[in-house]
A and B are shown apart, each in its own frame.
Chain A
Amino acid sequence: DAGVIQSPRHEVTEMGQEVTLRCKPISGHDYLFWYRQTMMRGLELLIYFNNNVPIDDSGMPEDRFSAKMPNASFSTLKIQPSEPRDSAVYFCASSLGRQGEQYFGPGTRLTVT
């Protein structure tokens, strides 16, 4: 299996622009998670899905952030408009079942100037 796939790996954008991060979970996994990693706040869970349905979005920082999972093999995290404080590494992870171990993708390093 190819593992969790994320794109792009690096994104540099200007403040105010829309940014879309993409994730393909491991085939057959029914949970998908979005995390953000920064020096100041460490690793934070933003949102997670079960069977394509958002279960907990309490970690989403504000309305500028939105996430969708239109099907079992694809999810997006969108930031509109982006701000410099959104600069971080965004990880996607997936797992099989409620007890399953989470497998992390390579991450997207976002820089907002």
Chain B
Amino acid sequence: ELKVEQNPLFLSMQEGKNYTIYCNYSTTSDRLYWYRQDPGKSLESLFVLLSNGAVKQEGRLMASLDTKARLSTLHITAAVHDLSATYFCAVVDRDGGATNKLIFGTGTLLAVQP
């Protein structure tokens, strides 16, 4: 059974600082997503990572994937208040090839303080 662990659960940052959110998963997968969720809102897709060594960047966010270590990171550079949200990683569970299920991490609540 695929399990996805995310840490930290809560992250309070000062504006201008850098930090990293980690996502570990337990079994092989060919696809990993990062989502953002604002309070009371739906999930917004940020990145999809498909292969070992994949790196994607959008603004102050950069995501990477190491399939051998089963680890993805979401790096925040020079945080600003607008980045405050909950960030989820989600891994596709192929479960032998037939499924298209997303297994979500616990989420990281990011609060950027002035």
Contacts and interface: CB of A to CB of B under 8 A. Distances in A.
Interface of A: 31, 33, 42-45, 48, 50, 55-56, 91, 95, 98-99, 101-107
Contacts of A102: 33, 45, 102
10 A-B pairs with least C-beta separation: A43-B104, A104-B43, A104-B42, A106-B42, A98-B100, A42-B106, A45-B101, A107-B42, A42-B104, A31-B100
Nearest to B104: A43
A91 B99 contact: no
B15 to A, nearest CB: 27
A104 B41 CA distance: 10
Interface of B: 31, 33, 41-43, 45, 48, 88, 90, 98-107
Contacts of A107: 42
Nearest to A33: B102
B42 A56 contact: no
Nearest to B99: A56
A4 B34 CA distance: 19
Given A42-B105, A50-B100, 5 more contacts: A42-B107, A43-B90, A45-B103, A56-B99, A56-B101
A93 B91 CA distance: 15
B80 to A, nearest CB: 25
Given A42-B106, A43-B88, A101-B48, A48 B42 contact: no
Residue among B41, B88, B101, B103 having the largest count of chain A Cβ atoms under 10 Å: B101
Residue among A33, A56, A95 having the largest count of chain B Cβ atoms under 10 Å: A56
